[in-house]
Amino acid sequence: MEAGKTASQLLKELGLEKANFGTYSGEWHSEGGEEIASRSPIDGTVLAKISTSSEKDYEQVVKHSMDEFRKWREVPPPKRGELIREIGNELRKEKERLGMIVSLEVGKTITEGQGEIQEMIDVADFATGLSRQLYGLDIASERPEHRMSEQWQPLGPIAVISSFNFPSSVWSWNSFVAAVCGDTVIWKPSSKAPLTAIAVMRVVERVIKRLRANEIFSLVTGSGKKIGDLIASDQRIPLVSFTGSIPTGKGLGEKVASRFGRTILELGGNNAAIVSEKSDMEIALKGVAFGALATAGQRCTTTRRAIVNEKIYSTFVSRLKEIYSSVSVGNPLEPGTLVGPLIDEEAVRNFQGAIKKAQKEGGKLIYGGKVLKGKNFQSGNYVTPALIEANPSMNIVKEETFAPILYLFKYKSLDEALEIHNSVPQGLSSAMFTNDLREEWEFLSAHGSDCGLANVNTGTAGAEIGGAFGGEKQTGGGRESGSDSWKLYMRRQTVTRNFGKTLPLAQGVQFRV
Ligand code: UN1
């Protein structure tokens, strides 16, 4: 399947043009922002051109989002949920087409592109239910005839800066939850995936216009340096949710904190799977392979390290090599493909650079690591996934390289495995494969995995939306999507009410006037 041909048909069906405005605030506009191209990593085809947001566009968006917030915060939460339900239903209808846009723009396999939209639908369902579950607390007061409680208020217009690898679902994790909380949302997608954002916003716009609902979602496009910076230093935006690299997240976090704004940071992962000799090897192999290879190793949750018990190490590694050699790398639109292209040339260079560094530090490349050339690999972004035998003292294994490189480690005792596991600066996802209850306990205990996500007998990638998603240490500490992540999109208000006829003071303080 050719990316170009598929794309023009799809763009038409979705009401998109070859050239698109990259700013939406109740209407599409562009006031002289520079033009960028959405380029498919599959074969380098330019899918569409997008005129990004100028400062004037940005200003219009923020003003619009503030105005809409003043109206939206007055809407009862279950009514807000009704809008999200309708958006979810529209996404159900458009799942195939939108999933295809994702595949075309970022090179995901068809099933992964569809999965991305499914994740949005799931979050829409979750947020609709949540809109009736925004609960507070009732707290005992030390004073007679007093009541204390806790309630939650909307925050304001918030910003969501998303990355290319989950170009729409991460926006929905934040936006659908924030919307039922009463916030309005300004979306800045990655400049590597603006077309998906525009396509999603077109679908959202259709629902909003049909229902004559509040225009709570807006879109700005442009570089992190320009638009990202405007957001980071904009006092009017109380919360910025950012998904991306550790250095960018650090800079953004500092900027937002310096104006007392809040952030939800979802930064790099360096996720490991511990494979015990007491595991079911078939499950472990599949879990590690999916974790390392899905999305061509470009997930925050990608398995980057496998820590394998020495007793099964050689069997496990040779089986893994077999799996790797049977995996087809190529055009992600073809049904048999498991590993598509990397997003761009820079990603390919990083892949090669990391392998070189690993080899210099004593790592042994035992499989893959090549850049594929030829007719089927036109864009030059296709690589054979790499397996590298490593040791924990190497520096490169402490870094996240957004590519399919799996470092392999051997361990003797579980203590040693856990030490290797926790020895990196990132703390997003983790997995342990074992059928031994005591080993599972160690992994899940306070001295076990130090990550935000800890999985047993399932891999590091592929989290469900019902749990809170995010990680510790340099991953940034944010939580998104399920559980009580909604609290991050609201402000907490402690309420004290006096029903009595006197004014007793707390802590027994006397004040006689
Ligand atoms: C990401 O890579 O930024 O858990 C998110 C997963 C996906 C989400 C990944 N559901 O792999």
Stated pTM of the model:
0.97
Q: Do the Cβ atoms of 240 and 156 come closer than 8 Å?
A: no
- Note the residue count of the chain: 513
Angle, CA 7 vertex, CA 165 and CA 86 arms, to 5°: 65
> In this predicted structure, what is the pLDDT of residue 7?
80
Q: Do the Cβ atoms of 219 and 60 come closer than 8 Å?
A: no
> Nearest CA to 212 among 92, 91, 71?
71
> In this predicted structure, what is the pLDDT of residue 10?
84
Q: In this structure, which residue's CA is closest to atom 3 in ligand 1? A: 300
Active-site residue identified among 266, 400, 439, 480: 266
Fold match between domain 3-134+153-265+476-491 and domain 271-465: no
Name the 3-class secondary structure at 186. Answer: strand
> In this predicted structure, what is the pLDDT of residue 5?
67
Enumerate the domain spans of the chain.
3-134+153-265+476-491, 271-465
- Nearest atom in ligand 1 to the alpha carbon of residue 300 is 2
300 lines ligand 1 (CB under 6 A): yes
Q: Look up the CATH number of domain 3-134+153-265+476-491.
A: 3.40.605.10
Q: In this structure, which residue's CA is closest to atom 1 in ligand 1? A: 300
At 143-186, the pLDDT tens digits run 999 999 999 999 999 999 999 999 999 999 999 999 999 999 99
CA of 464 to the centre of ligand 1 (A): 9
According to DSSP, the residues that pair with 24 across neighbouring strands are 28, 219
166 lines ligand 1 (CB under 6 A): yes
Query: 271-465: what fold?
Result: Aldehyde Dehydrogenase; Chain A, domain 2 (3.40.309)
Handedness of CA 260, 266, 267, 271 (dihedral sign): positive
- Mean pLDDT per block of 10 residues along the chain (513 residues) reads 75 79 94 91 94 96 98 98 98 97 97 98 98 97 98 98 98 98 98 97 97 98 95 98 97 98 97 98 98 98 98 98 98 96 98 98 98 92 98 97 98 98 98 98 98 98 97 98 98 98 97 93
CA distance 166 to 402: 13
CA of 455 to the centre of ligand 1 (A): 14
> Nearest CA to 39 among 379, 306, 486?
379
301 lines ligand 1 (CB under 6 A): yes
463 lines ligand 1 (CB under 6 A): yes
Active-site residue identified among 119, 300, 439, 442: 300
Show Cβ contacts of residue 69 under 8 Å, excluding neighbours closer than 6 positions.
154, 156, 157, 182, 183, 184, 216
CA distance 461 to 166: 13
461 lines ligand 1 (CB under 6 A): yes
CA distance 437 to 117: 36
CA distance 431 to 454: 6
Q: How far is CA 47 from CA 41, 84, 194, 260, 497, in A?
A: 10, 29, 11, 40, 59
Say whether 300 is catalytic: yes
> Nearest CA to 196 among 178, 170, 176?
170
329 lines ligand 1 (CB under 6 A): no
> Nearest CA to 262 among 294, 229, 237?
237
> Nearest CA to 256 among 271, 239, 269?
239
- 3 state SS for 25-43: CCCEECCCCCEEEEECCCC
Instruction: Give the Cβ contact number of residue 147 at 10 Å.
Output: 14
